[in-house]
Amino acid sequence: MNNLIRRRPDLYQNAPCFHCSTSVETQDHLWTCHPASHLNRRSRLHDFQSIISLARDSLISTLRKKWKSQSLHKHTVITQIYQLQCWELTSLPDALTSVDLLKGIFPNELYSSVHEIIGSHEPTVNLLFKTVYKLQLRLYQFIWLRRCYDFSEWEISQNITTRMKTTKPRRITFAAQDQITPAVHRSQHVTSLHGS
């Protein structure tokens, strides 16, 4: 979004998130946007949390199958994984969160606990990356693609056309800013397919 605002301030000047109209659509906000209920729009935050929980439960299910013994220690390690902050959005200071997880960054505690069950480095890393890959795929399918569709609809509602986006932007002077058409002036915001 910041890239689009920088590239085309004439179209997306001072644009907040088009989905909630309250925050800047940063990378992190994009995945967790939670519009006010009166806007009657889908909460990406709820979808995000569901997808994170699914990744956590899927990983734990795999670990339970791999570690056959029913010891108290196994239960303790599984509980430790379940309680890690990396499955949450709000976290303790300096702790990695679920937004970090979607970027492929996971805490040492997760690696250590999974390694304790799996027993060796490479299968542990493979399982963790597989978990992150499936997480990213679901987020792409259920949040990013919907967001792109909604954004196209929003651009249409703002009379922002492909032609306008592909023509060279005019230099905006203070005098010219006052003459921008109302439709463009109402522009609320944007993000590119390649990130904000």
> In DSSP terms, which residues pair with 195 in a beta bridge?
192
Torsion from C-alpha of 173, 176, 177, 179, nearest 10 degrees: 180
Identify whether the C-beta of residue 91 lies closer than 8 Å to the C-beta of residue 97: yes
| Binding of residue 189 to Zn ion (CB under 5 A) | no
Identify whether the C-beta of residue 3 lies closer than 8 Å to the C-beta of residue 12: no
CB atoms under 10 Å from CB of 123, counted, come to 13
| Binding of residue 4 to Zn ion (CB under 5 A) | no
- Binding Zn ion by CB under 5 A: which of 11, 17, 102, 114? 17
Stretch touching Zn ion by CB under 5 A, among 5-13, 20-28, 80-88, 152-160: 20-28
Smallest distance from Zn ion to CB 127, Å: 33
Nearest residue (CB) to Zn ion, 34 versus 74:
34
| Binding of residue 99 to Zn ion (CB under 5 A) | no
Residue 31-70 contact track with Zn ion, rule CB under 5 A, x = bound: --x-------------------------------------
| Binding of residue 19 to Zn ion (CB under 5 A) | yes
The amino acid at residue 30 is L
Q: Which of 83, 85, 69, 84 is nearest to 117 (CA)?
A: 69
Residues of this chain that bind Zn ion (CB under 5 A): 17, 19-20, 23, 33
